[in-house]
Amino acid sequence: MRIGVSLPEPGGADPMATLRHDIERAAEDGFASAWMSNIFGVDALTALAVAGSAIPGIELGTAVMPTYPRHPAALAQQALTAAAALQGRLTLGIGVSHKIVIEDMFGYSFARPLQHMRDYLSVLRPLLDGDPADVTGATVSAHLGLSIARPGRVPILLAALGPAMLRLAGEQADGTVLWMTGPATVRDHIAPSIALAASAAGRPAPRVVCILPVCVTDDVPAARERAATIFSIYGQLPSYRAMLDREGAAGPADVAIIGQESTVEELIAGLAQAGVTDFVAGEFGRGADADRTRALLRSLVS
């Protein structure tokens, strides 16, 4: 199981300098990958291209780019440009996001997310592979090609939690990228569902990239309380709520990986046994706990 880290939203007067520092530190610490969300801050693809282009070796990924606000041809063009800047080290994580974002904030209909993603991939995949797209879909259409030189194949990971979206991920993507999904749910639902779909479609074994909050600490109750506060929204969004219910978790704090070094190491190792191919640590400790968390993660990759 490869181990990566989640990149925090860069802030300050020079967010690219902050992000560059975080990527450089992750690379120096030996992590296989670093992943950035795309919510309401900097554009993740642009930021990774700018901040990561001079830092070799480490895979950089989006987790995830919402599909609805970008036509798949526009996203393919942007992703290929970013991949060129990163010398082929980009992995494109995409997802439909949530009704509260797509419908209530952006104003798009969220009535058919599975059909939307199926149509979206039918355009995105050929364009990323250097082929033209000639698609008239129920929700997305495209009749064009791109002239961008490809630095190598750009893998696509699909944020997939429900059975139908997991089946689509296995059939048409290179794997899935997860958030707030515990080990029992990965073992009993995610990993077998996507692996079966990929095998039936004659595709390689899919990646299962699992991002979870992590904190090494002696004060477990305080860390759980902090996790419950920081990540509270994810206990309310329907897709994550369904995964927490599958896990038997009352809220996000119950799937966070919290404890002393031996406990955290054991819990991370358990994810590999559950079928996770890539564990990505969402570090949320402060002060000495943050230092201990990074030290343990470094020891796991060394």
| Phi, psi of 214, deg, nearest 5 | -135, 140
Residue identified by tokens 């190598």 is: 152
Q: What is the pLDDT of residue 162?
A: 97
Answer whether residue 302 shows pLDDT above 90.
Answer: no
Q: Where are the beta strands (DSSP E) in 122-265?
A: 133-136, 141-144, 156-158, 175-179, 207-216, 257-259
Residues 106, 246 within the same domain: no
Residues 169, 260 within the same domain: yes
Q: What is the pLDDT of residue 12?
A: 87
Partners of 91 in the beta sheet? 61
Residues 166, 280 within the same domain: yes
Contact 4, 272 (CB under 8 A): no
Q: Which domain holds residue 257?
A: 161-302
Residues 253, 138 within the same domain: no
Residues 165, 155 within the same domain: no
Answer whether residue 299 shows pLDDT above 90.
Answer: yes
Mean pLDDT on 99-110: 97
Residues 296, 242 within the same domain: yes
Residue identified by tokens 């990566």 is: 4
CATH number for position 39: 3.20.20.30
Answer whether residue 11 shows pLDDT above 90.
Answer: no
Determine the Cα–Cα distance for residues 140 and 137; give it in Å rounded to an integer: 5
Residues 182, 83 within the same domain: no
Residues 129, 198 within the same domain: no
Q: What is the pLDDT of residue 16?
A: 97
Domain's final residue, options 159, 183, 201: 159
Determine the Cα–Cα distance for residues 202 and 129; give it in Å rounded to an integer: 18
Q: Which long-range contacts (CB under 8 A, 24 or more apart) does 188-196 make?
A: 188/246, 189/246, 190/160, 190/161, 190/166, 190/275, 191/274, 191/275, 191/276, 192/275, 193/163, 193/166, 193/167, 194/160, 194/166, 194/167, 194/169, 194/170, 195/170, 195/275, 196/170
Q: What is the pLDDT of residue 102?
A: 98
Determine the Cα–Cα distance for residues 23 and 34; give it in Å rounded to an integer: 7
Cα–Cα distance list, 218 to 130, 252, 290 (Å): 51, 20, 12
Residues 152, 169 within the same domain: no
Residues 146, 175 within the same domain: no
Domain's final residue, options 132, 159, 186: 159
Q: What is the pLDDT of residue 151?
A: 86
Residues 197, 48 within the same domain: no
pLDDT in tens, 37-93: 999 999 999 999 999 999 999 999 999 999 999 999 999 999 999 999 999 999 999
Answer whether residue 217 shows pLDDT above 90.
Answer: yes
pTM: 0.98
289 three-class SS? helix
Residues 145, 192 within the same domain: no
- Provide the number of structural domains found in the chain: 2
Partners of 209 in the beta sheet? 177, 278
Domain's final residue, options 159, 191, 225: 159
Mean residue pLDDT across the chain: 97
